[in-house]
DNA sequence: AGCACGCCGACT
DNA sequence: GTCGGCGTGCTC
């Protein structure tokens, strides 16, 4: 018998191995196989009587690693689906789905397996044999310091044949793990009462769960309307049906507070995939999910690959969040994969958001999803009032300097709020002190030597840092172009905001939460958020990190320092993103009844329709005008896109290739080719970049075109050109 | 992705 | 002379 095995290396095909006689093993099981000079853990994909490959020697499977399959058919289907849809090797998909699971621990140990060194040992092997005999056991790594690998392999083989040594290969699947989940399904805390609106929607969810068929709900509930409580109820019900549940959240929302909330309800059965898990812990969770011992799973997008035995419910919270899109070698959209997986598992899917993606809303309009809405806040509080502050106009009227981040209106509002004993949140989606350092004499902006972007000024660290490649140089006073002492920090940043705020209100208790303060250990996110919630801080300022989900009862004023930071990006979703992010931030304000919230948005473009929609809480109005724009411009959700990118370390090589493509790319049916054009971020990590946008004109024809286009690109490109592509792209930099 | 093989610059 | 840099090509 032969086995086709998927390996976690970027291969488009399965490899064929010989199944040792008398082995009973089912597809989906982990196996150890030889690959070239090394060994790999792979997944047995299928078994056949005839080899699926006959162009060389077929080697045998070395070991069946587990008694039962880890990847059931449903999960293998998902991985194949991803490989086909996103046009990437099945091996890469496997590696993305199971990071670490399949990795053998690099250090093989070699044990001396004999009391002495027999005389029969050939002279060439003596030095190695003596070394091993003396030490009794050594890691392969240590040996490679003294022996070149091919020689070592050869000598070890000989010693092995003589029965003098024994190899021990470590695979963490064998390690005992420390994250045992006890088996119990008793809810720990009792559920709070639902509002009339909530219980109405909860009933619809329950009915759908009872049917145990695939169905998708879009749960569109305003901020603070109690979506989480509906998720919790749905999970409770699916557990009663004896099925498992998966909750996907954006990476940034996977906070101790969120975990606690679920733990209080489902403690006994919960597995949380957070980024600090070791390979062994992660693998142990996988086994417990397969065995049905873990019944509720929470994680970011990659938890979609967990090996559920009987998945009955998937919840995608904040379904519009861009972090569901994985970038890199396997660029999948986690939310979309939830649809594929739920359909295959006959599970109920709930996509929840206060600001649903246009894709999901379109699916509702086309009848593929059903809509559930929550229009009232669970506490009975009203939505905050929103005002837009025209920064440019205030500067022109000399009411503020153009270097100021806080307008007089916002300053006054902060003071009023603090003196009323309430709290303030200031949002600015830019870390560092300023995004660039300019020369006021010659206009020079200090750039990254490896990328075509300006270096961000970090005042505390006294560094200029590239936010794309992490290049750093010391902060300087002298302009590198004209040699004058004339550099000044241009543009906003959270560090500068903090500086301005502490000179404005030196006595206020404030904290800054962004990647820099967290990484430097200055600030602990959990305790800071808790302190703010408990009223031990007056002002919290920061980036994305403070925008999500948290409930701060004393918070009544939200200030958005500069709305444009998300607006001016080379991305047709810029307006949608801005609307979503600002609505989300605004939703932090005034969540308790009787304490109305106020939101002040500072902007250089106050009439922009995305901001106007935030002002009036007009989701429908925004969605309609945005959809109109998308339709006219031929963008998603009306036309699918694929982005083909290429780059080269030499400018000329790239330019030539772009020219070649312009001349030689044929017109393809049912798609439109836009480009190649230089990428908005033209140089990144010393590579010059171009992109070619493929727009689908007739539904269902994108892949046909890509299957013609990609081989053509490969054949035209020389080895200096690096090619990659992204189906349904979210990033256009 | 590893890991080999292979062909050119600075060193015991 | 050879040690080692990483470019190219293969792995059932
Ligand atoms: Zn850079
Ligand atoms: Zn200058």
Count CB atoms within 10 A of the CB of residue A5: 24
Nearest protein residue to nucleotide B1 (CA to C1' distance) is A9
Please, which positions of strand C sit below 7 A from a protein CB? 7-12
Secondary structure of residue A36 in the 3-state scheme: coil
pLDDT at A267 over 80: no
Ligand located closest to A487 CA: 2
Q: For residue A653, what are its two tokens? A: 């090589």
- Residue whose token pair is 């805390």: A189
**Complex prediction ipTM:** 0.90
Using C1' positions and the CA of A10, the closest nucleotide is B1
* pLDDT tens per residue across span A348-383: 999 999 999 999 999 999 999 999 999 998 888 888
CA–C1' distance A13–C4 (Å)?
Answer: 34
Q: Give me ligand 1 centre to Cα A437, in Å.
A: 15
Q: For residue A314, what are its two tokens? A: 């998937």
H helix or E strand, kind and range, residue A169: none
- Strand C contact at CB of residue A38, distance < 7 A: no
Give the pLDDT score at A68. Answer: 94
Task: Report the range of poorest mean pLDDT among A44-48, A122-126, A617-621, A635-639.
Answer: A122-126
By residue count, chain A amounts to 733
CA–C1' distance A281–C12 (Å)?
Answer: 31
Nearest protein residue to nucleotide B2 (CA to C1' distance) is A38
Q: Give me ligand 1 centre to Cα A87, in Å.
A: 29
Task: Give the torsion through C-alpha atoms of A84, A88, A93, A96, to 10 deg.
Answer: -140
CA–C1' distance A150–B5 (Å)?
Answer: 11
Report CA Rg, chain A: 29
Secondary structure of residue A138 in the 3-state scheme: strand
Q: Average pLDDT over chain A, rounded to whole?
A: 91
Give the Cα separation of A473 and A463 in Å (integer): 6
Give the pLDDT score at A184. Answer: 47
Residue A487, beta-bridge partner list: A439
- Strand C contact at CB of residue A59, distance < 7 A: yes
Using C1' positions and the CA of A13, the closest nucleotide is C12
Give one DSSP letter per residue of A444-461, joined into a string: -B-B-SSSSSBPEEETTT
- Strand C contact at CB of residue A717, distance < 7 A: no
Share of chain A above pLDDT 90, in %: 71
Give the pLDDT score at A156. Answer: 76
- Residue whose token pair is 């490989």: A83
Ligand located closest to A450 CA: 1
- Strand C contact at CB of residue A663, distance < 7 A: no
For A146, phi then psi, to 5°, come to -95, -30
Nearest protein residue to nucleotide B3 (CA to C1' distance) is A37
A436-439 and A487-490: which strand pairing? antiparallel
pTM of the shown model: 0.90
Ligand located closest to A452 CA: 1
* pLDDT tens per residue across span A440-460: 999 999 999 999 999 999 999
Using C1' positions and the CA of A57, the closest nucleotide is C12
Task: Give the torsion through C-alpha atoms of A414, A418, A424, A426, to 10 deg.
Answer: 40
Upstream peptide bond of A524 is cis (omega within 30 degrees of 0): no
Ligand located closest to A440 CA: 2
Q: How confident is the model at residue A27 (pLDDT cuts 50, 70, 90)?
A: very high
Q: How many Å from the N-terminal Cα to the C-terminal Cα in chain A?
A: 49
Q: For residue A581, what are its two tokens? A: 């992010």
CA–C1' distance A710–B5 (Å)?
Answer: 30
Comparing C-alpha atoms, which of A246, A340, A232 is closest to residue A299? A246
Using C1' positions and the CA of A89, the closest nucleotide is B1
Q: How confident is the model at residue A124 (pLDDT cuts 50, 70, 90)?
A: confident
Extended beta strands in A555-686, E state: 555-560, 598-603, 641-648, 671-684
Q: How confident is the model at residue A12 (pLDDT cuts 50, 70, 90)?
A: very high
Using C1' positions and the CA of A4, the closest nucleotide is C12
- Strand C contact at CB of residue A150, distance < 7 A: no
CA distances from A401 to A119, A393, A398, A456 (A): 89, 11, 7, 21
CA–C1' distance A144–C4 (Å)?
Answer: 15
CB-CB contact of A427 with A558 (8 Å): yes
Question: Counting beta carbons within 10 angstroms of the beta carbon of residue A401, is it exposed (0 to 12), middle (13 to 18) or buried (19 or more)?
Answer: exposed
Share of chain A above pLDDT 70, in %: 94
Helix axes A90-97, A73-85, angle to 10 degrees: 120
Residues A198-212 have a mean pLDDT of 97
pLDDT at A418 over 60: yes
A2-6 and A15-18: which strand pairing? antiparallel
- Strand C contact at CB of residue A535, distance < 7 A: no
Secondary structure of residue A210 in the 3-state scheme: helix
Give the Cα separation of A159 and A156 in Å (integer): 5
pLDDT at A185 over 60: no
Ligand located closest to A439 CA: 2
Protein residues bordering strand B (Cβ below 7 A): A 9-11, 36-38, 149-150, 153, 329
Give the pLDDT score at A199. Answer: 95
Higher pLDDT, A114 or A563: A563
Q: For residue A355, what are its two tokens? A: 């600001």
CA–C1' distance A313–B2 (Å)?
Answer: 39
Residue A342 DSSP symbol? H
CA–C1' distance A675–B3 (Å)?
Answer: 38
Nearest protein residue to nucleotide C7 (CA to C1' distance) is A719
Q: How confident is the model at residue A512 (pLDDT cuts 50, 70, 90)?
A: very high
* pLDDT tens per residue across span A524-579: 998 999 999 999 999 999 998 898 868 899 999 999 999 988 877 789 999 999 99
Give the Cα separation of A686 and A468 in Å (integer): 11
- Strand C contact at CB of residue A36, distance < 7 A: yes
Give the pLDDT score at A549. Answer: 65
Comparing C-alpha atoms, which of A111, A101, A114 is closest to residue A168? A111
Residues A192-208 have a mean pLDDT of 94
- Strand C contact at CB of residue A402, distance < 7 A: no
- Strand C contact at CB of residue A62, distance < 7 A: no
Residues A70-97 have a mean pLDDT of 96
Higher pLDDT, A469 or A244: A244
Comparing C-alpha atoms, which of A638, A640, A676 is closest to residue A660? A676
Q: How confident is the model at residue A173 (pLDDT cuts 50, 70, 90)?
A: low
Residue A557, beta-bridge partner list: A424, A598
Give the Cα separation of A721 and A228 in Å (integer): 47
Ligand located closest to A442 CA: 2
Give the Cα separation of A463 and A474 in Å (integer): 5
Give the Cα separation of A643 and A645 in Å (integer): 6
Residue A273's contacts (CB-CB under 8 Å, 6 or more residues apart) are A282, A285, A297, A298, A299, A300, A302, A303, A306
Q: How confident is the model at residue A583 (pLDDT cuts 50, 70, 90)?
A: very high
Q: How confident is the model at residue A116 (pLDDT cuts 50, 70, 90)?
A: confident
CA–C1' distance A166–C4 (Å)?
Answer: 32
Residues A89-94 have a mean pLDDT of 96
Ligand located closest to A471 CA: 1
- Strand C contact at CB of residue A20, distance < 7 A: no
* pLDDT tens per residue across span A272-327: 999 888 888 899 999 999 999 999 999 999 999 999 999 999 999 999 999 999 99
Give the Cα separation of A473 and A464 in Å (integer): 5
Secondary structure of residue A537 in the 3-state scheme: coil
Using C1' positions and the CA of A40, the closest nucleotide is B2
Give the Cα separation of A310 and A346 in Å (integer): 9
Please, which positions of strand B sit below 7 A from a protein CB? 1-5
CA–C1' distance A148–C2 (Å)?
Answer: 14
Give the pLDDT score at A174. Answer: 55
Higher pLDDT, A209 or A98: A209
């Amino acid at each position: 018998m032969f086995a086709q095995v998927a390996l976690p290396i970027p291969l488009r095909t399965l490899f064929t191995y010989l199944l040792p006689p008398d082995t009973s093993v089912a597809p989906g099981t982990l196996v150890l196989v030889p690959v070239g000079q090394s060994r790999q853990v792979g997944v047995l994909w299928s078994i056949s009587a005839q080899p699926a490959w006959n162009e060389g020697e077929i080697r045998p499977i070395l070991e069946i690693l587990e008694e039962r399959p880890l990847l059931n058919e449903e999960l293998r289907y998902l991985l194949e689906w991803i490989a086909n849809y996103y046009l990437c090797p099945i091996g890469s998909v496997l590696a993305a789905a199971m990071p670490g699971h399949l990795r053998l621990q690099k250090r093989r140990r070699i044990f001396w397996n004999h009391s002495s060194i027999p005389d029969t040992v050939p002279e060439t092997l003596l030095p190695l044999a003596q070394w091993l005999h003396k030490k009794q056991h050594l890691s392969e790594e240590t040996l490679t310091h003294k022996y070149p690998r091919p020689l070592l392999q050869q000598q070890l083989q000989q010693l092995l044949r003589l029965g003098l040594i024994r190899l021990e290969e470590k695979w963490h699947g064998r390690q005992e793990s420390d994250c045992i989940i006890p088996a119990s399904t008793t809810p720990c805390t009792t559920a709070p009462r639902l509002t009339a609106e909530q219980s109405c929607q909860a009933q619809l969810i329950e009915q759908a769960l009872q049917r145990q068929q695939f169905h998708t709900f879009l749960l569109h509930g305003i901020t603070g309307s109690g979506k989480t409580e509906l998720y919790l109820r749905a999970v409770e019900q699916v557990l009663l049906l004896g099925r498992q549940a998966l909750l996907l959240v954006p990476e940034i929302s996977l906070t101790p507070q969120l975990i606690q909330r679920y733990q209080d309800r489902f403690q006994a059965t919960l597995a949380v995939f957070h980024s600090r898990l070791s390979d062994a812990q992660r693998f142990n969770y996988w086994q417990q999910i397969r065995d049905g011992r873990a019944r509720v799973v929470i994680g970011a997008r990659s938890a979609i690959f967990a090996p559920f035995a009987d998945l009955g419910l998937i919840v995608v919270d904040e379904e519009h969040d861009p972090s569901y899109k994985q970038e890199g070698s396997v660029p999948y959209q986690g939310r979309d994969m939830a649809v594929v997986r739920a359909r295959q598992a006959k599970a109920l899917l709930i996509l929840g958001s206060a600001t649903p993606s246009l894709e999901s809303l379109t699916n509702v309009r086309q009848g593929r999803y059903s809509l559930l809405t929550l229009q009232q806040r669970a506490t009975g509080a009203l939505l905050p009032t929103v005002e837009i502050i025209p920064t440019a106009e205030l500067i022109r009227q000399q009411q503020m300097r153009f270097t100021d981040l806080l307008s007089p209106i916002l300053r006054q509002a902060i003071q009023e709020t603090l003196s009323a004993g309430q709290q303030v949140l200031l949002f600015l989606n830019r870390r560092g002190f300023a995004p660039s350092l300019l020369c006021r004499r010659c206009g020079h902006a200090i750039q990254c030597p490896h990328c075509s972007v300006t270096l961000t000024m970090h005042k505390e660290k006294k560094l200029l840092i590239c936010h794309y490649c992490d290049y750093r140089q010391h902060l300087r006073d002298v302009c590198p172009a004209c040699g004058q002492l004339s550099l000044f920090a241009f543009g906003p940043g959270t560090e500068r905001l903090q500086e301005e705020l502490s000179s404005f209100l030196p006595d206020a208790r404030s904290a800054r939460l962004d990647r820099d303060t967290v990484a430097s250990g200055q600030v602990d996110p959990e305790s800071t958020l808790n302190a703010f919630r408990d009223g031990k801080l007056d002002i919290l300022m920061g980036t994305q990190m403070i925008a999500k989900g948290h409930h701060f009862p004393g918070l009544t004023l939200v200030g958005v320092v500069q709305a444009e930071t998300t607006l001016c990006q080379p991305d047709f979703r810029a307006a949608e993103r801005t609307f979503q992010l600002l609505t989300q931030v605004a939703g932090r304000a005034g969540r308790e009844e009787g304490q109305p919230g106020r939101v002040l948005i500072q902007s250089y473009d106050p009439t922009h329709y995305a901001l106007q929609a935030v002002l009036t809480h007009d989701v429908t109005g925004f969605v309609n005008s945005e959809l109109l724009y998308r339709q006219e411009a031929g963008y998603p959700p009306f036309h699918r896109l694929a982005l083909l990118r290429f780059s080269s370390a030499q400018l000329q090589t790239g330019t030539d290739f772009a020219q070649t493509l312009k001349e030689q790319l044929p017109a393809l049916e049912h798609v439109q080719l836009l480009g190649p054009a230089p990428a908005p971020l033209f140089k990144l990590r010393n590579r010059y970049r171009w992109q070619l946008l493929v727009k689908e004109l007739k539904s269902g024809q994108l892949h046909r075109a890509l299957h013609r286009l990609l081989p053509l690109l490969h054949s035209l490109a020389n080895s200096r050109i690096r090619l990659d592509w992204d189906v349904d792209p979210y990033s256009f930099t």
